[in-house]
Chain A
Amino acid sequence: LAKTTQPISMDSYEGQEVNITCSHNNIATNDYITWYQQFPSQGPRFIIQGYKTKVTNEVASLFIPADRKSSTLSLPRVSLSDTAVYYCLVGERDDKIIFGKGTRLHILP
Chain B
Amino acid sequence: DSGVTQTPKHLITATGQRVTLRCSPRSGDLSVYWYQQSLDQGLQFLIQYYNGEERAKGNILERFSAQQFPDLHSELNLSSLELGDSALYFCASAGHGTEAFFGQGTRLTVV
Contacts and interface: CB of A to CB of B under 8 A. Distances in A.
B92 to A, nearest CB: 7
Interface in A1-43: 34, 38, 41-43
Interface of A: 34, 38, 41-46, 49, 87, 93-102
Contact of B42 (A45, A49, A93, A102): A102
Main secondary structure of the interface of B (DSSP, over half): strand
Contacts of B99: 34, 46, 49
A34 B101 CA distance: 13
Interface residues of B, number: 28
Given A43-B2, A101-B42, A94 B105 contact: no
Given A93-B97, A101-B42, 5 more contacts: A43-B90, A87-B43, A94-B50, A94-B97, A100-B42
